[in-house]
Chains A and B, each alone.
Chain A
């Protein structure tokens, strides 16, 4: 028997290679170097790798524009505009996080390059998920992403909560991965393949006499994804982990896990199981209702801002799922737009939370924010804009993002669902506004002034700029998202 080596289109996997390569280079340098590798070297390596990945994304985009979407490595990896845009967002989040983490590491006296190596490795997993065209590749991407994050969550050795959160995240994350891969095994049994294109083709040309196996497999896959994106009732880990993790890590988790998991979820549900739309829609419906309403309601009663943001991100996950529920190209574009705009907002928000948290990363009660905008008008205003954007206020990206997913759902005949999501947004508005009001309030104890280091300041400024500029003028991003989903390879 002749062994056939699958052909590899190196441009398609270039961003993943860059991230892994940079991580390996840092490991080597730190092992070979005499003494400690300076923090500046580590941070600039991460930023350089992410910028290089963005440049690679640009050439990928041109390649797709010229030659169309393509699959490579035995159809396991796909290169299309959707993956290009999603990887671009991940690279951008990594740059922002690396800059915030640089200032954080100086403040907390964390030395060594492990943080950066792990951040690079787990982002490579997220990149892989955006390009995966095979259930096993999705699983591998998910694990590369998660295993790096388990360690990053445990990174703060001075706080007991950090390692506790890591243990919880690890046990529940491992549980979710096992469920996911069992789902993949059942789908493999039902359709004879783990390749998404083959599954889609098989389901399009055959009528299953006993669809039970496929349904069970699909349901388990969905549960696995729901764990990762923290959809209710699989969200229990998320507030604890968000609170326990070092704050820059929380920002990274909130952005890249969402981008990677949603990209993969869309490929599985829309591309592979698109023919089973009527089967998975009711399940997703229930999931969305629970996620949006429970996320928003529980956020209201929190006093710790990191927990509050965790529940808020659960609520956002529900909104992003709305676009998936629609199952149309319009819905997919809306989902992508939401993810593109949400990632910079959430990283910038956690950058501010990192600053206010102070040395030891411990001061996260909402009282700490009392009167922040009077002491430091720029910082306060930046946080207010970011919160208003998460709320969905007009003239911010959050508004158009929410509008787009809701419009796509109404378009697909989900009026009731859109209404429930809107009500949850109204509940969520309560705590965003309460927080924003606290920034400008006069009474209550005075918190201390916080230094704003230059790099973190740049990240916050960038987040606010993106929010406002594309909030006023969403055209280019909307076109980008639409363009990226029109050429979606089934």
Chain B
């Protein structure tokens, strides 16, 4: 069975959209964090699909860079979430109200 490339692109765009929507509407820092990961993986899917249609290997190589960056973000991000959680025992961004304006 041969699935046209466009379907993959649409799927990736859908995933990216879900991630972006979730990031803007959800209030838990951890869920927002997962949404960013979802967006990055949608990007990876897009790169691989284009790599296939363009018959160019560099698109697949880029995916590794994106994965490494995502992993680095996770370590730092979780550290920050933990440091906020220690202070307030909650990861809801609605309770981050010291800074306003």
Contacts and interface: CB of A to CB of B under 8 A. Distances in A.
Interface of A: 136, 139-140, 143, 147, 150-151, 154, 157, 160-161, 163-168, 170-171, 174-175, 177-179, 181-182, 185-186, 188-189, 192-194, 239-240, 243-244, 302, 304, 307
Contacts of A164: 84, 96, 98-99
Contact of B83 (A139, A157, A181): A157
A260 B39 CA distance: 24
A186 B101 contact: no
Given A150-B80, A157-B83, A194-B62, A178 B19 contact: yes
A177 B81 CA distance: 19
B76 A151 contact: yes
Contacts of B42: 182
Contact of A151 (B33, B36, B79, B101): B79
A182 B43 contact: yes
Chain A at the B interface: SS class: helix
B65 A140 contact: yes
What are the 10 A-B residue pairs with the smallest beta carbon separation, nearest first? A178-B39, A189-B50, A240-B99, A185-B46, A174-B36, A164-B96, A163-B83, A143-B69, A182-B43, A166-B80
Nearest to B46: A185
Nearest to B53: A189
Contact of A178 (B43, B65, B77, B83): B43
A163 B91 CA distance: 12
Contacts of A239: 99, 101
Contact of B43 (A181, A243, A302): A181
Interface in B21-53: 23, 29, 32-33, 36, 39-40, 42-43, 46-47, 49-50, 53
A192 B65 contact: no
Contacts of A174: 33, 36, 73, 77
B54 interface: yes
B47 to A, nearest CB: 5
12 contacts: A139-B69, A140-B65, A150-B77, A163-B87, A166-B83, A167-B84, A170-B76, A174-B36, A178-B16, A178-B19, A182-B43, A189-B53
Contact of B40 (A150, A166, A178, A192): A178
Contacts of B77: 150, 170, 174
Interface string B47-78: 10110011010110010011001001100110
A309 B16 CA distance: 34
Interface of B: 9, 16, 19-20, 23, 29, 32-33, 36, 39-40, 42-43, 46-47, 49-50, 53-54, 56, 58-59, 62, 65-66, 69, 72-73, 76-77, 79-81, 83-84, 87-88, 93, 96, 98-99, 101
B101 A189 contact: no
A143 B87 contact: no
B80 A167 contact: yes
A293 B96 CA distance: 28
B12 to A, nearest CB: 8
A302 to B, nearest CB: 7
Contacts of A167: 29, 80-81, 84, 93, 96
B10 to A, nearest CB: 13
A154 B84 CA distance: 9
B65 A139 contact: yes
Nearest to A192: B54
B72 A147 contact: yes
A375 B98 CA distance: 32
A485 B53 CA distance: 37
B98 A160 contact: yes
B98 to A, nearest CB: 5
Contacts of A302: 101
